[in-house]
Amino acid sequence: MRNLIRFILNNHFIILFIVFETISLLLVFQRNNYQQAVAFNLSRNISGYVNSKIFSFRQYLDLYETNRALLKENERLRNSLLSSYKLKIPAAGDVEFDSAWDQQYNFISARIIANSVNKQNNFISIDKGRVHGVKPDMGVISGEGIVGIVTGVSDNFSTVIPLINIDLRISSRLKNTGYFGSLYWDGKDPETAILEDIPHHVTINPGDSVVTSGFSAIFPEGIMIGTVTGFDIEGGNFYNITVDLATDFRRLNYAYVIEDKFREELIELEKASGYD
């Protein structure tokens, strides 16, 4: 209390000035319509500015939940696409031919919790694991294109070998011509990869789309990988094609793990046929 009294005594001229100035302004604004309008507009502008900042801050706080909701919605939409289903043919001898569709691909949404882009053997970690249905050798994609393949799984987390890892190769094809080859990362630019094994007689143009071939039980056919930016002849028989990757690994936040419900059946058939 003593300090407060001392503060008032030391600053009483300033305090009196502020009080009288406030009273003067109130009298001016109360008795003049123009000043009232100015004060009202000023207060409205200040209030609007503050409210807009508060709203933006609230939106930022809600961004995580909004992204989660959008991710779940995209997961539901991907699982309902016709490309996720396979036509089921009835067995010979059935009286009624009632064709139906079996879901072949199931998409599991996940959040990226760790990611590297500046190494030769880059890796990614996601927040979904065994309890969510994730298993090794499942494909992983983003909203733009291919991400990689699941390599390790725990109960709640998984590790992914991304496309920008020198140990990964993806069976790919040129969308325009249908010719397929092998796509790999050369360990240099995380935005580009190399497509090889395309015969030199094939017509290639910059901007051509490169997609998954569908020849493995990992990725569905036609998933976007990237676009052709350049090419040259390697060894006289095959092209060496530079592909601009569709997925931006530096900005990767969310992904989808792909479960192929027919994968085990295909693997068992290949083993029985001696292809293993």
- How far apart, in whole angstroms, are the C-alpha atoms of residue 196 and residue 194? 6
- Note the pLDDT of residue 256: 92
- How far apart, in whole angstroms, are the C-alpha atoms of residue 249 and residue 82? 28
Residues ≥6 apart with Cβ < 8 Å to 12: none
- Note the pLDDT of residue 97: 40
Instruction: Write b or e for each residue in 94-132: b if 16 or more Cβ atoms lie within 10 A of its Cβ, otherwise e.
Output: eeeeeeeeeebbbbbbbebeebeeeeeebbbbbebbeeb
Q: Which two tokens stand for residue 41?
A: 């507009």
- Note the pLDDT of residue 188: 92
- Note the pLDDT of residue 64: 62
Predicted structure pTM score: 0.66
Farthest CA pair distance, the chain: 106
- Note the pLDDT of residue 232: 86
Domains in the chain, ordered, with CATH?
Answer: 2-60 (no CATH), 106-272 (2.40.10.340)
DSSP state at residue 165: B
Q: What is the pLDDT along the chain (276 residues), one digit of tens a residue?
A: 667 677 666 776 677 767 766 776 666 556 665 555 555 555 555 655 555 565 455 555 556 665 665 666 666 666 655 455 554 544 444 444 444 556 778 889 898 999 999 999 999 999 899 999 999 999 999 888 999 999 999 999 999 999 999 999 999 999 999 999 999 999 999 999 999 999 988 999 999 999 999 888 789 889 999 999 999 876 678 899 999 999 999 988 889 999 888 777 777 877 777 766
